[in-house]
Amino acid sequence: MFDLEKEWSISFAGCGFMGIYYVGVSSCILERFPGFIQNATRIYGASAGSLMAAILTLGRKTSPEKEARKHKLGPLHPAYNLLQLVQDCLLGSLPEDAHIRASGRLCVSLTRVSDGRNLLVSQFSSREDLIQALICSCFVPLYCGVIPPTYKGVHYVDGAVSDNLPRCDQGNTITISPYAGESDLCPRATTLTFHEVRFNNVSIQVNSENLYRVTSTFFPPDPEAMAEICQNGYMDALRFLQENSKNILFACP
């Protein structure tokens, strides 16, 4: 249970197309307790989690999974350029002062190619600077291309490679993940769990449900399944708020 009398932050794990889970999570929280997001000191994110962190910081949205489903090979189809779609969405939706509004509050996880070290970026000199940081955080080697993008002249790849749940070890950082595990807000396992693994700070239980979620991370499921994942995110967030009701005042319908 987190303490609202202290400063708190939120951290979103990288999760590819499972990011639709975060749409349900954020919808529930913004509907029932918007102060949880609005008053958070910092919002961290890696990979797709960085996009949700940016969305909540700036109040914008981007959704490349619909385009991915148009091709039979999904995101592996040669006509599908995931990062180009993300970049186009960001360019078309982010306000000119996005970098000013994001600086100091949005924290984006990057992995430096030269030594594999993690970089957490929270200051952005321009809107293009912010967009490039998000693009670098989402670049999965080979899956998204061969040549990594650059941020301030340095090559970076997916932030999940070095830290997939930024600042998860800090007190009063609320961790959010679409995989059943030990994150503060995540699905609960309903099938037999054999083991638990940690992928760069993200707890993932080994079971059939999570196997499906990991597959959906790289290959977006059909619209009906996406809607269900989104609804699951909403219900998991509702449970999280109810379990923390001693610290949160919100109205139930």
Query: What is the C-alpha to C-alpha distance for residues 60 and 171, in angstroms, rounded to an integer?
Result: 28
The active-site residue out of 26, 158, 163, 183 is 158
* 63 assigned to active site: no
Q: Is 207:190 a contact under the CB 8 Å cutoff?
A: no
Q: What's the gap between Cα 117 and its chain centre?
A: 20
Query: What is the C-alpha to C-alpha distance for residues 122 and 130, in angstroms, rounded to an integer?
Result: 9
Angle at 156 (CA atoms; ends 226, 45), nearest 5 degrees: 45
The active-site residue out of 9, 11, 26, 47 is 47
* 47 assigned to active site: yes
Closest CA to 40 of 71, 76, 7: 7
Q: Is 4:169 a contact under the CB 8 Å cutoff?
A: no
Q: Is 112:169 a contact under the CB 8 Å cutoff?
A: no
Query: What is the C-alpha to C-alpha distance for residues 231 and 71, in angstroms, rounded to an integer?
Result: 25
* Residues forming the active site: 47, 158
